[in-house]
Amino acid sequence: MNNTILILNNSDETINLLKILFGNEGYNLIIAKSGAEAIEKTDDSLDLIIMDIELQGENGVFVCGGLREKTNAPIIIISRLDSDSEKGFAFSAGADDYLSVPFSYNELISRAKAHIRRYCVYKGKETKADGSIIRVKNLVVNTQNQLVTVDDKRVPLTTTEYNMLVLMMRERKRVFSFEEIYEKIWREPYFYKANNTIMVHILKLRKKIEANTGKPEIIKTAWGKGYYID
């Protein structure tokens, strides 16, 4: 079965371009021109969402958050807005990636394929995991079904959050630098501004698994170096 991508954009020109790009790659496409329509069309069949954060008459960040409440599928933002604050808002709302216009079409396709591949593995669509259980205090990760629980209660994570968590849990007490985390999770060359992206995802992850984000007991910060799991 071909993977399914939801495209949310107000521009017919951009929609037609993305139809050509991803249609030629064999993906199933669902089109939405408003946040409400996109949220209505979002279900478990989606493998990726590509959305413009500049939506006419709507708050794109708010829409992104609404989509994240309905699915853990990766969300790629494409936007003319390139400030760190805009990117920070988008990542805080649940976006997994952010591409500023203009961008390379090959880069967009490459990132989309990478996110879909990781998400399909996360959902168990393509590969069988080894069935191991990883425990840290009251946090348990079952890598066979990608189930994460805290105090025996299921914690829904995005693919990026899950991959970051498992990366550090597999090598407890090892400090992972920003550069190492970015290149292992995003599989792209590191750049300094990526630190903000990593910090936003760490904060979101802490909110989901820590009892007190002000005094984290699981994901610790090695100041000036990176992060590690105690």
Over residues 174-193, the mean pLDDT reads 90
**What's the pLDDT score for residue 102?**
85
Per-residue pLDDT tens over the stretch 120-158: 766 644 433 444 788 888 899 988 778 899 988 899 998
pLDDT score of 165 more than 50: yes
Tell me the C-alpha to C-alpha distance, in Å, between residue 91 and each of 32, 109, 123, 219: 21, 20, 21, 19
Residue 1 vs residue 13, higher pLDDT: 13
**What's the pLDDT score for residue 123?**
62
**What's the pLDDT score for residue 127?**
38
The model carries a pTM of 0.65
Pick from 145, 118, 116, 151: which is nearest to 131 by CA? 145
Per-residue pLDDT tens over the stretch 67-120: 998 998 999 999 888 788 888 888 888 899 999 888 888 999 999 998 898 887
Per-residue pLDDT tens over the stretch 22-69: 988 889 999 999 999 999 999 988 999 999 998 988 899 999 999 998
Please state, in angstroms and rounded to a whole number, the distance separating the CA atoms of residues 27 and 23: 6
Least confident of 20-24, 130-134, 174-178, 225-229: 130-134
Please state, in angstroms and rounded to a whole number, the distance separating the CA atoms of residues 228 and 99: 28
Concatenated DSSP letters of the chain: ---EEEEE-S-HHHHHHHHHHHHTTT-EEEEESSHHHHHHH-STT-SEEEEES--TTS-HHHHHHHHHHH--S-EEEEES---HHHHHHHHHHT-SEEEESS--HHHHHHHHHHHHHHHHHHHTSS------EEEETTEEEETTTTEEEETTEE----HHHHHHHHHHHTTTTPPEEHHHHHHHHT-S---TTHHHHHHHHHHHHHHHH-S-TTS-SSEEEETTTEEEE-
